[in-house]
Structure 1
Amino acid sequence: MMSCEKGYSDNMASQKRDVIGEVMSVYKESCPSLEVKELVIDPKELAYPVNTPRERTVYSVKAALSAVVEQRPFLVTTGTRRTELKEILPHESLLDISNLSLLGGCDIKEVIEVTEEFKTPLTPIKLDIKDLDIVIKELTSDQHLSCAVWHRLGLQLGLYDPRLVDIDKKNRGDPVECFHECMSAWLRGEDKVREKGGPSWSSLATALDTIEEKSIASYIRNKYCTSNQLIA
C-alpha cells in the first residue's frame, strides 16, 4: 500500500480496500494455502531517479488488526517502539472496523482470530477532533438527535456555561451550527471535558443518558462501548 500526495487522499481507503480485496480473491482461488502476513508502506515521497534506493516499512497485518480489535491506538513494532495506527491507516476511521481497508471487504474473523477475551467491555475508545464528522453523523443523521439539545448536552459533556453562551451568540442561536461547535469543543477536550473521562463514546453515552436521550445512549453503547460488535 503506497502513500499519496496531499490532496489526493480522499479515496485512498476505498482504493486500498478494493486492491486488497482483489488480492485476497486471487490467492483464495489460486493459492488457498497462502496467508497474507504483511503490509508494506512505501515512503511518503518516492525518490527519483529510479535508481535511488527506496526504504520501505513493513508491518504485520495480523498485528495491526489485533491492535484495532484491542482498541490500542498504537502498534508495537520492535521492542518497546510504538507506531500510531493512524500513521499506518491515515485516511480511515478506526471506529468502523468492518470497513478497514486491511480486510479487503472480508469479515474480520476471516483474517484474524477474535478471542473470547475481547467479547467483554474494553477501555473506552478515545475520540478527537478528526472524528467530528462520524460523531455528528451518528447522532443527527443516523439517530435523529435534535440539535436543540446542544446546550444541555454540552454541559453534561464538561463544557462550561460561558463557553456555551458564547457559542450561542456567535452562531446567533442557530441550533445546527451551535451543535457542531459544541461537539467540536468537546472533541478538543475544552474546559473540564478531561475530568469527565475525555472525549469517548462512553462519556457521550453517559451524557445522553443524563439528558434523557436513553435510546440513543443505548445505541452508542451497543455499537461502540463493547467489543461485541467486532465479532457479531
Structure 2
Amino acid sequence: NRPEAMNSLNTATITELSATIDELEKQPDVKVIIITGTGDRAFIAGGDIALLRTFTPIQARDLSIVVGKLFQQIETSPCVVIAAINGYALGGGCELALACDLRLAAEHAQLGQPEVNLGIIPGWGGTQRLSRLIGSSRAKELMFTGERVTAQRALEIGLIDHVYPDDQLLNYTQTLAQTIASKPQTAIQMIKTAVNNGMAMDKEKAIQYEADLFGLCFTTADQKEGMDAFFEKRPAVWKDE
C-alpha cells in the first residue's frame, strides 16, 4: 500500500505484510489470501532502491534473510496465497509473486528480475524459485538480461497462470479464491504440502511422501464425508477436519 512509491518494499511494509499474514492465518474462516498492489500501476515494483543503496554488505545480507522469512511464510502458509499482479512485478515484487501458490496477472502487467542493471543479483529467493518454476535456462536469460516480460509472455513461459483484462483481474481472482475456499481444506493443505516439500526431494522419496499423505487423508472426517456424499449423490458438507 505505497502507490506513491510503486508499492516498493521497505522494512516497514515487509514487517506489516508478515504481521497481516499472521493475523489472517489465525482466523479459521480465512482459507485463501489474495495479495495485490494499491493503485493500477504496480503490484510491487521491487525493493526500495533509495534504502538499498545505503546498505553495507552485512545489512544487505540481513535484509535478504528477513525478506526470505516473509516469503517462506507465504510459501508455507496453511492458506492458499494468490498473487493478483495488477501492474509492475519487478525484482522483489516478482520474487514475492514466485512465493505465492498461484499467479494471476492483468494484461498490462510486466514482470522481471532487473537486478543485474543495478549491479546485483536477485537476493530474495529469485534465483532459486524462478529456476524451479520456468527452468534454469529461461530463468538465467531473464536474470542475465534484466528484461521485463509482458503478461502474455509470462503466461507462455509458465511464470504466471492466467491473464485477464485489467478491469477484471480482481473479479476473476476472487472467483478462483472462492472455488478453492469451497473445497475441503484438509485436502487442500495436504496438496500444498505434498507439492512444496516433494519439490525438495528426489522423485522416489517424493512419491513415498505423497503415499504417506494420501494415507493420512483417510484419518479425516472430510474423506469420509466426501466419499459418502459421492455415493449418496449429494453435495458434500465439509468440516475441514
**For the superposition of Structure 1 and Structure 2, which TM-score range results when normalised by the shorter chain?**
under 0.3
Name whichever structure is richer in strand by fraction.
Answer: 2
Normalising by structure 1, report the TM-score: 0.26
Whose Rg is larger? 1
